[in-house]
Structures are given as structure tokens and as C-alpha cells.
Amino acid sequence: MANEKSRHGTKTGTRKIGIIICNRYHNCAGGKCFRALANREGAFSIYGKDEEVEIAGYTSCGGCPGGNVEYAPDEMVKNGVQAIHLATGLIVGYPPCPNIVRFKNYIEKKYGIPVIIGTHPIPQKYYLVHSKLGTWESKEWQEIIKLTLPDEVCRKSYD
């Protein structure tokens, strides 16, 4: 197994990830993210059930316009982080983060690691509100939410 490749093309072993959350939720204890990682739900479904994944960094963006996004990835990378997830809170808060795509592009270009938009599945209560508001109707937003939009049963379990 040590020589097998994961879905990301690296040898299997412990994959270290970082999570950047929206500063509006800076007091979040991360329960939904940790649960989703354990269950490989939401954006964490990209990791195989047999793949070891460790959260090696967890911080907020620092508040609008995301000043911590410039510096936090540096520490995460120094601690072995191989990918950074921009938390689902950046998607479901109202308004959704207007900088989420900029954050993704900046971190990927500056630090050379992949950035995945999303962590845990979108809770049903947020899905319903944003559906009524038409928040995610554009092609760009459909692409942004695709990893965090499971079926209704799963969404309800994250309410």
C-alpha cells in the first residue's frame, strides 16, 4: 500500500490539510468540518476512505477583505500542509464571501498547493434560503458549491 497512488497522484500516507474559515465564524469549534472529514462528506469526499488525512492548520481569513489569507498559508505549508480547504461558511454566510475565488487563486499561485472550496456539506437551512434568494444560480457559483451540495438527507443532517 505504501507505493499505491491516491486520487491526488501522491503516494498514500498521511495527507495534511489546512482549513481557512470565514472570520464571521471565528469562534467556530470546527465540529461540522471534523465530522465531514471523518465521514468523507462534502468537499472531503475527494479523499478516499482509506486515505489518512490530518488537519494540520485551522484559522480564519482574518475578516474582510481576508488579510490573514496572505500569511496563514505560509505557516500551514511550513507545517506540511499539502492542500487548503476554504470552509463552507465562506459559501453559506450571507452574503457569501465575495473574495472566495480570489483567495483560491492567490493561495494556489503564491504557495503552489491546491485550494479546495468547501469543507462540510451545505446545511439544508442554508440551501433553502440561498435557493430562494437565487444566490448560487450562476454557472460560477454552481462550480463553487459542487463539492458541498450532496443530497437533501445529507444536507439535513448538517442543520
pLDDT single digits (tens) 106-149 = 999 999 999 999 999 999 999 999 999 999 999 999 999 999 99
User: For residue 156, what pLDDT band results from cuts at 50, 70 and 90?
Assistant: very high
Q: Say if residue 60's pLDDT is above 80.
A: yes
C-alpha 49: how far from chain center:
17
**Which carries the bigger pLDDT value, residue 2 or residue 24?**
24
- Dump strand ranges (E) for the chain: 14-21, 52-60, 83-86, 115-117
pLDDT digits (tens, 9 = 90+) for 96-112: 999 999 999 999 999 99
CATH number of 14-157: 3.40.50
Query: How high is the pLDDT of residue 1?
Result: 36
Query: How high is the pLDDT of residue 118?
Result: 98
Percent of all residues in the chain with a pLDDT value above 70, rounded to a whole number: 92
Q: Say if residue 3's pLDDT is above 50.
A: no
* Cβ-contact 117, 100 below 8 angstroms: yes
Angle of CA points 88, 93, 99, to nearest 5°: 75
- Spatial separation of the C-alpha atoms in residues 75 and 89, rounded to whole Å: 22
In one letter, which amino acid is 112? G
Query: How high is the pLDDT of residue 13?
Result: 78
Query: How high is the pLDDT of residue 4?
Result: 42
**What is the model's pTM?**
0.90
